[in-house]
């Protein structure tokens, strides 16, 4: 019983307002090319190389949230763990360096990479074309897609993406998931720093109709509140996603080294083992079901 209570407390405030699908914030958009996207010549004008600095110091710094079950969170023993965290620990171990995690919100992670406060970030961060213009990404170590949390008794009246029109969708104001819901005509309802129970309870009691979010994280949310009249929509799977390590633009040597390490972890089964441990499914491999692409929205 104690473990269940602790899990519920840990779970509070995780998947809805956390970071997995966060869109570029206004702060990031306003940074501009001079501060965000440095050319390779500018970045390495002094001969610096991030991987060389990491080797010399013997430590790699990684930003993560510590609030994202089951990607990055604190367990019952107050230890930082989760799929992304354990993947990063294993990468560092194989590279022969220590890893130091900096705990911060998603909106601070990209700026922290640009400022040099951290070397990289791991927090279920989606690889998008827009972000790839500003940062280096590793090869994907997680594959997922978007889904919806709806009421069991009537599917919240939603049987297609178009049915989002006129519905109330709970979610973070800057997330890709809210962009999708809004694109199809939903009204976005935000809760500030409220925990997951507030979001899920409002779908249950009809104050809102739907939550658009990542399949794996949504599955944990629904499972945490079995008494609520909510479920994962059984028919809608859309917007396939890939998550990877995000690094400064132009750090190609570090990117190549991390990719080589991830390839080894994939080949020897480590990625599959970690993904299955934390998600109950092998999220390190592309999902085999049919997933609808959203082609008319620039995310």
* pLDDT above 70 (res 131): yes
User: Which CATH number goes with the domain that contains 226?
Assistant: 3.40.190.10
Based on the fold, state whether residues 135 and 182 are members of the same structural domain: no
User: Range of 130's domain?
Assistant: 2-142+242-279
Residue 286 included in any domain: no
Domain assignment present for 292: no
Residues 112 and 247 in one domain: yes
My answer on whether 159 and 269 are in the same domain is: no
Domain identity same for 74 and 215: no
Dig out the tokens for 270 from the structure.
């480590």
298: in domain = no
Number of folded domains in the chain? 2
Q: What is the pLDDT of residues 232-281, one digit of tens each?
A: 999 999 999 999 999 999 999 999 999 999 999 999 999 999 999 999 89
Place of tokens 């899990």: 7
Q: Maximum distance among all alpha carbons in the chain? A: 63
pLDDT in tens, 154-193: 999 999 999 999 999 998 776 788 889 999 999 999 875 4
Q: What is the pLDDT of residue 295?
A: 86
Instruction: List b or e across 185-217, with b for residues whose CB sees 16 or more CB atoms inside 10 angstroms.
Output: ebebbbbeebbbbbbbbbbbeeebbbbbbbbbb
Tell me how far apart the alpha carbons of residues 100 and 266 are, in angstroms, rounded to a whole number. Answer: 23
Phi first, then psi: what are they for 146, rounded to 5°?
A: -95, 150
Task: Point out which residues pair with 271 in neighbouring strands.
Answer: none
Predicted pLDDT at 21: 55
What is the band of 284 on the pLDDT scale with cuts at 50, 70, 90? very high
Q: Is residue 176 part of a domain?
A: yes
pTM of the model: 0.76
Residue 297 and residue 164 in contact, taking contact as beta carbons nearer than 8 Å? no
In the predicted model, what is the mean pLDDT of the chain? 85
On whether both 112 and 57 belong to a single domain, the answer is yes
97 and 90 in contact (C-beta within 8 Å)?
no
């Amino acid at each position: 019983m104690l473990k269940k209570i602790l899990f519920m407390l840990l779970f509070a405030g995780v998947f809805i307002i956390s970071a997995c699908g966060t869109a570029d914030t206004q702060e990031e958009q306003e940074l501009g090319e001079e501060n965000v996207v440095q050319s390779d010549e500018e970045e390495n004008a002094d001969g610096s190389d991030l991987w060389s600095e990491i080797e010399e110091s013997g430590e790699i710094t990684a930003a993560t949230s510590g609030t994202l079950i089951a990607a990055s969170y604190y367990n019952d023993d107050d230890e930082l763990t989760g799929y992304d965290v354990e993947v990063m620990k294993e990468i560092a171990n194989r590279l022969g360096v220590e890893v130091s995690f900096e705990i911060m919100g998603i909106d601070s992670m990209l700026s922290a990479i640009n400022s040099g406060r951290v070397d990289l970030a791991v927090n279920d961060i989606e690889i998008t074309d827009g972000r790839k213009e500003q940062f280096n990404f590793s090869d994907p170590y997680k594959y997922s897609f978007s889904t919806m949390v709806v009421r069991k008794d009537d599917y919240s009246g939603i049987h297609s993406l178009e049915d989002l029109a006129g519905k109330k969708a709970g979610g973070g104001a800057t997330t890709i998931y809210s962009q999708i819901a809004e694109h199809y005509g939903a009204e976005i309802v935000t809760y500030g720093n409220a925990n997951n129970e507030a979001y899920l309870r409002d779908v249950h009691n009809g104050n809102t109709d739907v939550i658009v979010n990542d399949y794996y994280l949504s599955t944990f949310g629904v499972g945490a509140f079995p008494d609520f009249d909510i479920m994962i929509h059984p028919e809608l799977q859309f917007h396939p996603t890939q998550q990877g390590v995000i690094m400064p633009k132009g750090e190609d040597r570090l990117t190549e080294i991390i990719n080589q390490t991830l390839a080894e972890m994939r080949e020897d089964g480590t990625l599959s083992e970690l993904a299955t441990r934390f998600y109950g499914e092998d999220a390190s491999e592309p999902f085999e079901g049919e997933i609808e692409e959203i082609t008319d929205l620039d995310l």
